[in-house]
Structure 1
């Protein structure tokens, strides 16, 4: 046993440190009791993760905030990666300011992730010169008064972040190496948000449209390959709510028309289907090979189905289509006859370029039984896609695909002679 301990203690510092990287910080600190050679190894950690959302007990939180601050101060070198999951309503802003202040003086920070679950806390973000990844959630974000941009920033992810128009545009403009932008941002003032991207290295953009968004433009992004746009509306949204979303979403779709991978949610399709938006339906995607549709089934109806078909006409070389549906409220066997007839009116043979020449794979993921509109999409594709090779229906193991659905799909007239319909369970 002593020999084994000696061998463990004799490991080089870099190997010991890499071992501790696999542990939570409290476990890493406890290794200091193993032997004298392990006493200070944890202080060489460069990646820190604190989950302070485990309890809403104020006394517990205050104790752990102090521990976290002591750990940061005890680290001997720069902290490269700092992740914090936080829950607090009273002290959140002060504690976050304290942590960021300590990180700033440590230097070398490359990745910052803050997820606040208790409230939308105010964060005064220091000027981290080496920052490459910024991931913030549920905060009010402020930039330094002399902010000139994060020159090394490659990925910017903002979820439910409230920010002033000047700050969000300055953050985008100052990130000259920006490659990934994923954002759900809200105006923190009276002025609604209007964003412009002039990012030559941008490869991925994801945006959630809200009622406070008036414009999103991508002026220069020659490397852009992947786009994802979504709307934050409910199944019972009014025409006015949809109209607010359509204008900026239409402009953004036109700007990103050269992407090869595109994701769209049912809510956005609903917006396009409910208001006059001919420009949105005439945008061509000449390089698009993969389309992903995702959302809540209650947003699906005949008009959304028609909008979906219009989009297919503008994707001439589409090869793969994926549809993810959640929480269906209407089961195939529970439909009234008029509802079924409305969907069936859309099921016909049409000459659509991608269905005639390129679409080879259709994947549908469902959480329960398949919604009638989703069934319509599947049947429409199978009826028209002449080079289709695979239709895969994915479902959770505990949610069996009804026999009537299996039978219905097997009876669908298939345009492709060698299409294979497969039912698989999702892990």
Structure 2
């Protein structure tokens, strides 16, 4: 029995791959039963799995020692992050679980690892500039995310009247950092069709069904595959998302989007890509609509991403095309076909056309041609 990866558990998928977990109850004797098992990332090496299990176990032991007592603020960034994590009134505990795991936690770990020892009451604008430049070398989005969370935790500290935070917040509020360039890639109909076809060939038609549904309806991925999240107050993860009952017998899909709560109705029988995907994928009679063929359960987001990449690559679609780009493809195609930004906004359930423009790809040439033709057709014939 290996002792270098405390709390380790695993489960084999039907495709031969292995899912790795860390169980707090197995790692530390006497750990609270309400603590959730954590799924480790896919593709980790044996050494990385051991390191992650050791890190999580060490953190748990440290938390158990301090159980019941809040972290002590000593003016360092690391102590501020600890207070921010511990305080149930902080914004960390009000965002969606997927947002916390995907956006907040990675940036908080960067702050603690890279600048955690720095005293907040001694910071200058030059420090923030140097940090951003250093993070940017490892990725512009990484740098932007770290600065964004630094603003969040320092604002939290200022609100709690912690020493140095108000002054640091004032310095940061006057600073502007270069934003990463917006994505310019949109999935095309041809690319989506290729992914649908290849997913059927690879016997994982759920991938093609999800991408077809997103491309045709402009729904977000989380609204299609759902989300696994811990139960409030502790306990195992539970899934919530699109259910079979949300699609009627005549193929009318109705739901409220997870981001804004906007009501959505879509007639799936009118979408050719969805029809192509449903030649191989069967919507269950009850329960979640999208099921991972390997596990027989709804997808975890990282598992879906990895599987999508395999299908996309096998389909000969460029690696620059991401799953999220099917939504941009839906918006772009709508604008080109109708010449209407409002129509694209309604399809994507955006509250403003400003957001819709961010999803629109291309130079607008085709849309401008349609508008020009429509204007000519509307003019009196004698004036042409």
TM-score bracket, shorter-length normalisation: under 0.3
> Using CA pairs below 8 Å that are at least 6 residues apart, which structure has the higher relative contact order?
2
Higher normalized helix content (fraction of residues): 2
TM-score by length of 1: 0.23
Higher normalized strand content (fraction of residues): 1
TM-score by length of 2: 0.25
Q: Which has the larger radius of gyration?
A: 1
